[in-house]
Structure 1
């Protein structure tokens, strides 16, 4: 558990002045170009989910996730679901009174704390509503009242995100009781005891607890106990009475009743079923019971190269790729006993998992993580380790053989047009993941910031292209006609022709389908394609 943050702000001398509040809306799948804050800005997501990138950090967001960005912060975000993305921006300034004179203040208000605590959520939503309601009225009195609303809002944030004494705030103490329950679930625990430990009113404790866990305290405790009992049921033949006592139930019949309510099985039925299966955790954290030896695996996603590399046989043709949405009737007709889905979409996951046990899989994770996870799931761990060792050795050998063609510390960058006429620079994915090697190319310019922040790609503009272009530039030839037209327009432009790499003859236009895929078999293919390309042009 993180330690409480103690205030180092000179709050007695700070003055907060509200400037503006706006509500923005963008369609599903939007990726906005990077922007820079002028003053302080509160960013509150109203609907949708995705990832927010700020300088060298990234954070997942969902409805009513709230962030405070200091002045001159570069930020960009992308939607990760099919919902419309709506968010508020609240702009304000902070002044520090020095000897009675105001001076602009620009330091982070909540350092190392990008996502703000906004419990209870109902109060936070009410404060936002009050501020937004008066945003279009320019009457002097109303403008003054709006400033008062803003002071309440900023006071709420300061109270919940800064600790000015050594006593942790209400949310932190409730978090401590959750940690206590996780460590002592087998003990006799009452809500009264937890309330006393948190030292907050009973009504407030229950409200905060539910905000943090999504459950009431006793329901959460029961779930902890049932989940722990599953391990005993699978791995031991202990009497049911003993297992119930070990996890905190005094009555084995009550334990059995609660177990059936939560799982749909009696404890013994669950044990028999699970011994024929195995419990694994997928990329999104779902715990799924899958066959120990699945025979009919269906892959739903945009790439199957990782599975084919490990010799995993699939039923049916590739489903749910870019040009074809998921078809539940077709999937069910294949009678799979396991589905692997390359999507992080809970709505879609709920639909697919009705057909067969389903595991989410991130084909854009690191190659090592992906293959080892597949190996763990499907009894191919040894094959995965051997393939990775062989591939890494081949990559090292390739770069050693190419040393005579490279200048010391030579840089490279990869660009692609996607989603119409939108330009992206690639991070550590696709061709870039092969180029950026200790014995290969270095990331160019601001591409280093993209990699540091863990971003797979970043949307940029043609005007900032030179900040990301390396000694060699690789432009992907996209499949989409709109994207291809935008790419062709760029490479005919003075912006492209003025790049040093283009002037020196070190620019490459390559088919995206051959050169910018991420699966294991494509990565292997690049180890043979890249030397041919560089030998032709160096």
Structure 2
């Protein structure tokens, strides 16, 4: 077997050898555990086989471990052992993948979780420190201020008096709570969320990284979603306190309730959800009379790819269209994308799409790809031949917010209801 980190292997062997003569039952058990650790190490080395991709996969598993076990004591030696590589090599690859050394990454995860607890609970600072893995409240305070720029107490009170909130990609939730953002996000190719009607609210282009321009608008509190890494929006913390929303995936209701909780508007969040449920019930009843068993699909088109959105469990559209509204899935969705948010279609795959109705939207980031509409394959699609293709607004449909979902329902009812 190949052993890429022979020195680490020898340390395990030496420890095992030193305890070979133990007679105590607990010591014997511990030596069995040492042997299992050695065996696991060698087998992982064999699986890696010197492969860089294999090592990176193992490091990614350790990253996921940190995210799940941040509340427990974790050492670099422990993490490196998971990957069966040396501490030095592990740290090098870890930093290449995350941009941070392991101890700093662990601290970032812990502080992010602490920020969420500070916002979403009234727990004492000591209890929060313990919950995120800090045994010492004073050390927690020091690390928090070092990372965030203010103390935990100051952070907790910052949002209570904030009226100038910037929440890029999350403006939908603010408006649902009757809160006007101080800025709205825009994208140099996508544009801005026109469906929200924020014509008087200034733009901030998330693709520029112009933090000086952002600071001129003096936001007092910034709320980010799970996609902040893509735009380096974590650097917003240089300007004002930042809150990173817990990831809730397709369940936008949890996100809205979280907004209501941290901004003191739980009643408005509950009311917005109640109105949406009523809208769903009414729309479902209408569509049951008009659409019957006709199938519906959603395509996201660009010059780079054609994406088919998935079934009723995941994605921007499936849970609403197939789940809430009860619309029928075409065979291709059930066959290839039932449990997927979206899949990329080849031209051969597209030719198999037999949906009766087709909602399409164009992603301008890589070029719209409208030339697809002139191809023979497109023209032969069932929905195209029957003139049942409907173009919808990109940012309104590629979103999880309650106002976004209300817009989707309106768009569906306009052509099918």
Q: TM-score normalised by the shorter chain: which range applies?
A: 0.5 to 0.7
Structure 1 match to 2:389: 508
Show the 5 A alignment for 1:30-429.
Answer: 124=48, 127-128=50-51, 235=123, 256=138, 258-259=139-140, 262-264=143-145, 273-278=151-156, 291-301=159-169, 304-320=171-187, 322=190, 324=205, 325-326=207-208, 327-342=210-225, 343-345=227-229, 348-360=232-244, 365-408=250-293, 410-418=294-302, 420-427=303-310, 428-429=314-315
On the 8 A contact 1:413/1:469 being kept in 2, the answer is: no
Change (3 A) 1:334 1:502: closer
Does structure 2 retain, via aligned residues, the 8 Å contact 1:297–1:340? yes
Q: Equivalents in 2 of 1:407, 1:329: separation in Å?
A: 54
SS at structure 1 position matched to 2:334: helix
TM-aligned CA deviation for residue 352 of structure 1: 1.8
Which residue matches 1:498? 380
Indicate which of 350, 360, 363 corresponds to 1:465: 350
> CA deviation digits over 1:399-450, x for unaligned, max 9?
1122222234x321111312x2521212354555542135521222232356
Does 1 or 2 have the higher relative contact order (CA < 8 Å, sep 6+)?
A: 2
Distance in 2 (CA, whole Å) between partners of 1:450 and 1:358 is 39
1:488 aligns with 2:373: yes
CA distance in 1, matches of 2:184, 2:172: 13
Which structure carries more helix by proportion?
2
In 2, Cα distance between equivalents of 1:386 and 1:344:
28
Distance in 1, matches of 2:275 and 2:300, equals 30
Cα 1:508–1:119 shift into 2, 3 Å:
same
Note the alpha carbon deviations across 1:297-344, whole angstroms, 9 max, x for none.
Answer: 11334x632321221121134345635424211111111111234533
Which whole-Å CA distance do the structure 2 matches of 1:531 and 1:314 have between them? 30
Judged with a 3 Å threshold, the aligned counterparts in structure 2 of structure 1 residues 350 and 120 are, in CA distance, closer, same or farther, namely farther
Q: Compute the displacement of 1:497 (Å).
A: 3.7
Residues 491-522 of structure 1 deviation map (CA, whole Å, 9 limit, x = unaligned): xx2x234333344x262132434863434323
Separation in structure 2 between the aligned mates of residue 515 and residue 295 of structure 1, nearest angstrom: 26
Alignment of 1:441-460 (within 5 A): 441-448=327-334, 451-455=337-341, 457-460=342-345
Corresponding residue for 1:134?
none
Paired position in structure 2 for 1:534 = 416
1:522 corresponds to 2:407: no
In 2: Cα distance, 1:349 partner to 1:389 partner: 32
TM-score by length of 2: 0.59
TM score, norm. by length of structure 1: 0.48
What is the total number of aligned residue pairs between the two structures? 326
2:51 and 2:171 map into 1 onto residues whose CA distance is 46
Picking from 434, 437, 440, the partner of 2:323 is 437
Per residue, is there more strand in 1 or in 2?
1
SS in 2 for 1:353: helix
Given that 2:397 and 2:408 are in contact with CA atoms closer than 8 Å, whether structure 1 keeps it comes out as no
Distance 1:501 1:350, change over 3 A: closer
**Structure 1: runs of 5+ lacking an equivalent:** 1-116, 130-152, 162-170, 250-254, 279-288
2:307 partner SS: strand
> Does the C-alpha gap of structure 1 residues 372 and 316 become closer, same or farther in structure 2, counting only changes over 3 Å?
same
The 3-state SS of whatever aligns with 1:476 is strand
Change (3 A) 1:404 1:319: closer
* Contact 2:221 2:241 survives alignment (8 Å): yes
Q: Which blocks of at least 5 consecutive residues in structure 2 are unaligned?
A: 1-41, 95-99, 192-204
Partners of 1:305 and 1:372 in 2: CA distance = 13
* Distance of 1:515 and 1:339 partners within structure 2: 22
Given that residues 479 and 512 in structure 1 are in contact (C-alpha distance below 8 angstroms), is that contact kept between their aligned partners in structure 2? no
